Structure 1
Amino acid sequence: MIIRKLEEKDLKAVSSICMAAFSKSVAEALSAEGVSTFTKIAQVDAFRNRMHEDNLMLVAEYEGKIEGIIELKEGRHVAMLFVDPEQQQKGIGRKLLFSALSYARVECVTVKASLPSVPAYRKYGFKCKGEVSESAGLVYQPMEIELSISI
């Protein structure tokens, strides 16, 4: 498996992986507004637009197939981390996360973790910081990792 920067040719696969993983693990616990918000964020055009912002997007690729995506916003915030549901529990998320963290520009990286993903982020070394919140129907737990300690 290789971890590399997202390319234009990957956009459809990345959007599909995000929607499949979201639908399997997160969507049923959210309101219609939350599902709609996420669907807009995960569209091909939304990814394409964010590629031109201060966002690092990395994919995990195995034998020519995209298996996961991570998005690090402004070198300080994990905005997306999704792995193909068929490929979960194989260390892909961990590899993506720690690859992205090597590009961090701060000592403390944050994430607004969906509630089902909190145990995984804890396993990666993130700690809860603040109360569960909601924005545009998306329910999340603020978390952070101190890089000087964890990496």
Structure 2
Amino acid sequence: MEPKIRLYRPGDEAAVAQLAVAGFEQSIRQYYSEEGVAAFLAYIFPAAIAERQRNGCQMAVAELEGEIIGAVELRDFEHVSMLFVLPEFQCCGIARRLLTRAVTLLKKARPEVKLLTVFAAPGAVEAYRHLGFLPDGAEREESGIRFFPMKMKL
């Protein structure tokens, strides 16, 4: 059965936070300091997700049999601020489908935008390369969060 890709609805934030925690624990936590872990967990707190959706971020989710199994969040229709798929559903094309929906939203809202950016966690760089992103500078760290800036031409 194929997951349905749909726009975020109020009430989705708890499930999105849970899937983000699952992805974080599997492949990101090991790269972050205590400060970075705290900053990330604050970012994915359900109330923070809901607040961002009310204030300019856009999110699409992948839903399978009523369960949210993936999510992508765009900031300012030019930056991927979050992209997670539950570990058991990774490598099935869901991230690509979510990213395709995000790009469709971006092109409709801001057709002048020609680059999509992301700050990839060290463990996610290869996944983003596979999705079409290229490195855009050296590794950086802010508030204990390590990342590689990447970009994709639209």
TM range (shorter): over 0.9
| Residue correspondence of structure 1 range 88-107 to structure 2 within 5 A | 88-104=90-106, 105=110, 106-107=113-114
Structure 2 counterpart of 1:3, one-letter code: I
Q: Aligned partners of 1:80, 1:49: CA distance in 2, in Å?
A: 15
Once the two structures are TM-superposed, the CA of residue 83 in structure 1 deviates from its matched residue by 0.6
Match of 2:145 among 115, 128, 138: 138
| Residue correspondence of structure 1 range 1-151 to structure 2 within 5 A | 1-104=3-106, 105=110, 106-147=113-154
Identity %: 39
CA distances 1:21-76 after superposition (whole Å, capped 9, x unpaired): 10110001211111000000010000010011111111000111100010011110
CA distances 1:3-35 after superposition (whole Å, capped 9, x unpaired): 111112211111000011101100012111110
Normalising by the residue count of structure 1, what TM-score does the alignment of the two structures yield?
0.94
Q: Aligned partners of 2:131, 2:150: CA distance in 1, in Å?
A: 11
Normalising by the residue count of structure 2, what TM-score does the alignment of the two structures yield?
0.93
Instruction: List 4+ stretches of structure 1 deviating above 4 A.
Output: none
Q: Aligned partners of 2:32, 2:56: CA distance in 1, in Å?
A: 28
CA distances 1:113-145 after superposition (whole Å, capped 9, x unpaired): 101111011111111001110111110000000
Q: Aligned partners of 1:138, 1:101: CA distance in 2, in Å?
A: 25
Q: Aligned partners of 1:47, 1:62: CA distance in 2, in Å?
A: 21
CA RMSD of aligned residues (A): 0.8
Aligned length: 147
What are the ranges of 5 or more consecutive residues in structure 1 without an aligned counterpart? none
SS at match of 2:11: helix
